[in-house]
Structure 1
């Protein structure tokens, strides 16, 4: 029976991989969960091992001396402010970990390594890519146009390692992950929930405003349930056809915030402000002075330009769009800038009241990923990600995005992070 090693075992994606594998004891009798700390209890077929992926190969080899597995799921990630630092730090973590496996001799047992990446692969953080996003799109390696992409560095490190040792690999590209992990407030779901709850506390019967781009509100987005991603990883580890392939992993439904946002707000007992974007449009766009009427005494909006050239420009000649608006730079348009909003005195006071009344962890508000959530909701272009390749290789998994988001809210309620219904 196969054994597994999972790095980043306390993260949103790594935690679910451990959970998914542990539920199939006959298939996965031994699972090594690697992380710097242990935040929750595991099933009895899961062995927690301490590891600091920022340490040297020798130090890691000492931590891994009793760890062996046939299938490795590398789901660790360290966010960095600069893309150059992300390239260096995340590449080094993977490289040192693989070197440690060589030092302990555990590499001889390895059959396949699954590397968790993301749809930054396509430059969704830089501007509009070619749609739908498919795994055969060219990498954005021209550093005169775009910053270095640490996923490229990690995949090249993995490819070289697997070629050297005659091992198999799989890379996954999830997007806008919906998931939950104990003690981890750094996720999209937490920030959305906290924003909605506090906004409802402040607005009363006026309604809750979508904080992202008015343009993005009616465009398409693609999401990944962390549970679905874990199921995919378990499938990809053992599916012969999946060897040495990269796959998009999204829920497979068609979604937009015009559909999701009313459901989110209603879930928390509120309603969407009927004219939430009125002044944004009548005043000529997000960022103008009239936006003050919508969101408070001071201008809470913001606009930030993305890369000078959107990723779609790499295929502009091929698809015949030279000289069209598609090649214009994109922007992150926050109708309500979440960093500004989270620092407002009335917002902080409302959160204090709410947390005190409901017995919630007050620290969760400051730990929420306001910058990332503002970015994710503020892009002004579609995010359509194809699952055709995975389907062709035999994957049939699917999740409803609203159901995924609702289930995470329920988990957060159960853990005491959100008010009871």
Structure 2
């Protein structure tokens, strides 16, 4: 099967898209990755720059890649500022159009297509607008609200009727990985926050607000779940929550994060860390020159992820918020049982960022 398999990754510079590209390419599976930006590393995959809002370019691409057997659709359009755009019509319509622009011509040319994986998230349960059920379950906890997920899902369901290919939808919790300049990857954002404090001789102060119990999703683990789904009958036309398998609080993992950054834990200093980071471009450029870092442009390093810090850490709120926990029983009973300790995940990604030169090495 492997020699006849060709995987197309859409959104190769995003957190999950990059992890999926790395996974399949490292398995010596023929992998083609598309995105507007060029990834720093393609891991042996072929990368093609493609704007999914350009329908003609997508059609031309599909004609050249009719041998695709698996599509991993991890492309995402987010607006500047991130949070407000989640409920705005133009953001919804853009994401809907991007999927259709790629899928429609691909369905005409890729006669051997077997599986499509697509990403959603816990916004399917309204996590961005109100407390979610504990735990949120794929078959009964969805919240009626405007979201591009529903348009994309409806399109896939309709296109798959009577077809020889199947789809799987994944709903990870907060995803952590190696992508830089992404919409939602807290590794470079937290890492930059810590490095800037450390440069001033300060410990890693905790900037968060209200207490809440959360779950993380390691990008590599999500990529392996996607690979599993592409070959599993149990995953056909199913929706799965996916997480590391444990729960965490920001205060609880803060010592592990500090240790990974080579820092001591500081005080609780409630603040909007993302807003603060926006004012630190010059300080970061100076720090990057001093340490010979890979990316001296803080905005290019963070993308929109600094906005995500304030959202996930409940900055500006006090007290105890309801937990945000999803059930992963369906995924595990279907056959994917991998887990990773969340503190070990943080250690892994900060170590990778230091080795790759995005963050200073611990002294």
Q: Taking structure 2 as the reference length, what is the TM-score of the superposition?
A: 0.87
Given that 2:63 and 2:105 are in contact with CA atoms closer than 8 Å, whether structure 1 keeps it comes out as: no
Cα deviation, residue 61, structure 1: 1.3
Aligned to 2:276: 341
- Alpha-carbon distance in structure 1 between the residues aligned to 2:148 and 2:130: 17
- 2:358 is aligned with 1:417: yes
Aligned to 2:318: none
- Alpha-carbon distance in structure 2 between the residues aligned to 1:338 and 1:158: 38
- Alpha-carbon distance in structure 2 between the residues aligned to 1:343 and 1:254: 30
- Alpha-carbon distance in structure 2 between the residues aligned to 1:359 and 1:186: 25
Cα deviation, residue 253, structure 1: 1.6
Aligned to 2:150: 152
- 2:296 is aligned with 1:362: yes
Inter-CA distance 233–343: structure 2 relative to 1 (3 Å threshold)? closer
Inter-CA distance 197–365: structure 2 relative to 1 (3 Å threshold)? farther
1:29-48 matches, within 5 Å, as 30-44=30-44, 46-48=45-47
Cα deviation, residue 121, structure 1: 1.1
1:312-371 Cα offsets, whole Å, 9 max, x none, are: xxxxxxxxxxxxxxxxxxxxxxx2112442255xx5565354333212332125652221
- Alpha-carbon distance in structure 2 between the residues aligned to 1:182 and 1:224: 17
1:368-396 Cα offsets, whole Å, 9 max, x none, are: 22212111111733121211111111111
Aligned to 1:10: 13
- 2:206 is aligned with 1:210: yes
Aligned to 1:297: none
Cα deviation, residue 182, structure 1: 5.5
Aligned to 2:94: 89
Given that 2:260 and 2:351 are in contact with CA atoms closer than 8 Å, whether structure 1 keeps it comes out as: no
Q: Which one has the largest radius of gyration?
A: 1
Inter-CA distance 268–32: structure 2 relative to 1 (3 Å threshold)? closer
SS of equivalent residue, structure 2 residue 63: coil
User: Any unmatched runs of 5+ in structure 2?
Assistant: 316-320
SS of equivalent residue, structure 2 residue 169: strand
- Alpha-carbon distance in structure 2 between the residues aligned to 1:65 and 1:9: 20
- Aligned-CA RMSD value: 2.2
User: Any unmatched runs of 5+ in structure 1?
Assistant: 277-293, 295-334
- Alpha-carbon distance in structure 1 between the residues aligned to 2:164 and 2:314: 43
- Alpha-carbon distance in structure 1 between the residues aligned to 2:105 and 2:300: 36
Inter-CA distance 97–374: structure 2 relative to 1 (3 Å threshold)? same
Q: Taking structure 1 as the reference length, what is the TM-score of the superposition?
A: 0.76
Between stretches 263-272 and 393-402, larger displacement belongs to 263-272
- 2:264 is aligned with 1:271: yes
- 2:260 is aligned with 1:255: no
Inter-CA distance 65–49: structure 2 relative to 1 (3 Å threshold)? farther
1:170-185 matches, within 5 Å, as 170-181=168-179, 184=182
Aligned to 2:223: 230
Cα deviation, residue 128, structure 1: 0.9
SS of equivalent residue, structure 1 residue 232: helix
Aligned to 1:161: 159
Aligned to 2:325: 384
Given that 1:225 and 1:250 are in contact with CA atoms closer than 8 Å, whether structure 2 keeps it comes out as: yes
- Alpha-carbon distance in structure 2 between the residues aligned to 1:186 and 1:120: 13
1:42-81 matches, within 5 Å, as 42-44=42-44, 46-56=45-55, 58-67=56-65, 68-80=67-79, 81=84
Between stretches 387-396 and 183-192, larger displacement belongs to 183-192
Inter-CA distance 186–357: structure 2 relative to 1 (3 Å threshold)? farther
- 2:131 is aligned with 1:128: yes
Given that 1:185 and 1:364 are in contact with CA atoms closer than 8 Å, whether structure 2 keeps it comes out as: no
SS of equivalent residue, structure 1 residue 165: coil
Cα deviation, residue 85, structure 1: 1.9
Given that 1:12 and 1:179 are in contact with CA atoms closer than 8 Å, whether structure 2 keeps it comes out as: yes
Aligned to 2:335: 394
- Alpha-carbon distance in structure 2 between the residues aligned to 1:124 and 1:224: 16
- Alpha-carbon distance in structure 2 between the residues aligned to 1:184 and 1:88: 20
Q: Number of paired residues?
A: 344
- Alpha-carbon distance in structure 1 between the residues aligned to 2:201 and 2:314: 22
